[in-house]
Amino acid sequence: MISFEEQTKTFHLQNDEVSYLLQVDAFGYVEHLYWGKPVRAYHGGRAYPRIGRSFSPNPPGAKDRKFSLDTVLQEFPGYGNGDFREPAHVIRHADGSTVTDFRYRANDILKGKPALPGLPTTFANQNEAETLKIMLEDKLTGLQLTLLYTIFRDFPAISRAAVLTNGGNKSVRIERLMSLNVDFPAGCFELLHLPGAHKRERQIARETVTDGVKRIDSQRGASSHQENPFLALVRPETTEFQGEAYAVNLVYSGNFAGMVQQDQFGQVRFGIGLNDFGFSWTLEPGDTFYSPEAVMVYSRDGLNGMSQTFHTLYRRHLLRGKHKDAERPVLINNWEATYFRFHDEKLLELADEAQKLGIELFVLDDGWFGHRDNDRSSLGDWYEYAGKIRMGLKNLAEEIHKRGMQFGLWFEPEMVSRDSDLFREHPDWALQIPGRGLSEGRSQYVLDFSRRDVRKNIFRQMTEILDHVHVDYIKWDMNRHMTEVHSALLEPENQGETAHRYMLGLYDFLEKLTSRYPDILFESCSGGGGRFDPGMLYYMPQTWTSDNTDAADRLKIQYGTSLAYPPITMGAHVSAVPNHQTGRVTPLSTRGDVAMGGNFGYELDLTKCTEDEKAVIRDQIAFYKAHRQLFQFGRFYRLISPFEGNSAAWQFVSPDRNHTIAYFFNVLSEAAGPLKILKLAGLDPDKNYRHIETDKIYGGDELMNIGLYLPLFNKQDFASYKMEFEVVYE
């Protein structure tokens, strides 16, 4: 998969689906050659032409005025010695300068994939991947930079990371260290990214790349609702099913920055990594710093091809633990049913109704601890609220298990309320700047998880609960972004390390917690989808997709999320109407059909449902269970984008292509509306399929190329239509 041509110093990472080429030039710089469709061998056709350009200087010692770092395509560029574009690294030296001249020193090719200490990463064994290590050195300072490239055997995917070691005798300060950089030759590109807001996450934005810099980032201490650490460059002609896409996704849950820059010659620089805003890291002699991993995916089969690579790669090489390949349970969460107003009897009434309908997991959300009756107290006090759970959590869990269901519990371990025993005892444990006030969000503060003593205390409190209460599922929430990012234990010159040390502390905590309780299914949450990223998925195999449970809004949220993340990672619930976030009324059937696009569950008061509604819910649960393997482990196709019109459609196809279920959603009714045709995808063109509802037979090629007319939804808003087909065996 990785070859090295010693004479030309050319590296070729290749498999059946992708090629990636780079070369060490005569000056010792690592140049980028190519990323795209696979080629058998490289014979020098993409060597960068030596053309003199005005105001593009030559590096020290260069005798050829036609070579400039300002024009050549590079793998990991710096700034200050000729390249005026955005750098991948900025390192401040002891003399105050920021020029670092990394030149090639050596390389190594390894079987398998090494881990990055303290960070979540994709993983692979020696038969599934190969890794290239390119070692660079700045001879003046002794700094050593190692670029890591892992190519996966079965995917058009390459992971990247940068490792910086201080081999000198003076400390330096890292001010920027990206995880990857790719320089493309001139050509037309569009940028695809996922902006949003709380309750409106991962909306698809697509815009033409023009001259200048476009920055996609989060400075909130989390990957955020507002942006996602995913970017893709696509060709103007790229659609869901055709055209090229070059995507990157950062395996990190904190501040990140993605960057696209088109230079004066139409060349495009593309990178992602830690956000350098407010960041600095002192690297002492002998110390090493690891950038987070970035995953690169190439697709020649449009956006669906890109997404399916991410989906399968993450399911096989990112998710871990016993739940990775296990069917996920249908759950009921009490939050929108009761909010903080619950007691033992109400919870058991809800559980009784859930059990009758076939629900498998009962989740007790916020309000069971401290003296929490609203969102203004008790975070940080992880002991039972005896006045509310009078029988005790242990007995409540036993009662739930007696009903044949699993029991789940909500935590928000990274936060503390002003009104809490923990804050009264340790006010300095919250992130804060001495002498300044503490900004409040949701009446809470952020605990300093960069501190070992803070993590130790919260870990002890959680384990005291989990060691004596039979908990099968944990919802880990995080409902506030960071302000006053300052740690009491760090020196003034090291305060720029706080946000990243927080993430390293969080990852250390999660590794210990998930290892101690391997049987618990963990779901991450941050006000819904505010930390939906590969970093969290490494520890918790699913994420609550959004606090917005409105079916119409969820079409866009789940559609956008699927660009990078598989449906099995998306929590999706049916809630009551009028919807608590939008006030919208949608049919129960549509709410169920939308929620089946992820890990299925309910978030409403079942005791208030009519018998007719309960009958619908019972049928929904039975249908989902019967087809759970398809929904959770099948191949997912986006068919019609809700961002481009009044409808949406998606489809699940079994791995053997013998079974498929497609959903069509019509958002608003139209007077004299057009007749619409839906074409399916991913089927075997040589097989015949039976439509389950009508018993009619269609060819796979017929369903994909000709398609079927959809019903006309007259005077019916928010309608859904389901089609199921199975292969006909002759």
Alpha carbon distance 394, 384 (integer Å): 10
354 within 8 A of 621, measured Cβ to Cβ: no
Q: Where are the beta strands (DSSP E) in 334-397?
A: 361-364
Structure tokens given for 485: 């990012």
Alpha-carbon distances, residue 515 vs 121, 322, 414 (angstroms): 16, 11, 19
* Omega within 30 of 0 (cis) for the link into 578: yes
Check residue 682 and give its pLDDT.
98
Question: What secondary structure does DSSP assign to 124-167, as a single string?
Answer: --TTTEEEEEEEEEETTTTEEEEEEEEEETTSSEEEEEEEEEE-
Check residue 62 and give its pLDDT.
80
538 within 8 A of 120, measured Cβ to Cβ: yes
Q: List the one residue out of 226, 235, 293, 301 whose CA is nearest residue 268.
A: 235
Backbone angles phi, psi at 108, to 5 degrees: -150, 145
Structure tokens given for 128: 């599934």
Check residue 65 and give its pLDDT.
86
Check residue 60 and give its pLDDT.
85
Specify the residue for token string 């009508």: 694
Alpha-carbon distances, residue 342 vs 482, 564, 690 (angstroms): 31, 37, 48
Q: List the one residue out of 536, 548, 549 whose CA is nearest residue 196.
A: 548
Check residue 403 and give its pLDDT.
97
Alpha-carbon distances, residue 655 vs 297, 556, 595, 630, 637 (angstroms): 21, 26, 21, 8, 13
pLDDT along the chain (730 residues), means of 10: 96 98 96 98 93 90 87 97 96 97 98 97 98 98 98 98 97 98 97 98 98 98 98 98 98 98 97 98 98 98 98 98 97 97 96 98 98 97 95 98 98 98 98 95 96 98 98 98 97 97 98 98 97 98 98 98 98 97 97 98 97 98 98 98 97 98 96 92 98 97 97 91 93
Check residue 273 and give its pLDDT.
98
Helices and strands in the chain, H and E counts: 13, 38
Helices 588-595 and 551-561 pack at an angle, to 10 degrees, of: 10
Check residue 64 and give its pLDDT.
80
To 10 degrees, the CA torsion angle through 335, 337, 341, 345? -110
Helices 344-357 and 393-402 pack at an angle, to 10 degrees, of: 20
458 within 8 A of 382, measured Cβ to Cβ: yes
Alpha carbon distance 574, 589 (integer Å): 10
Specify the residue for token string 């993983």: 123
Alpha carbon distance 724, 627 (integer Å): 11
Residue-wise over 573-588: b if at least 16 C-beta within 10 A, else e?
Answer: bbbbbebbbbeeebbb
Check residue 715 and give its pLDDT.
85
Q: Catalytic site residues? A: 477, 547
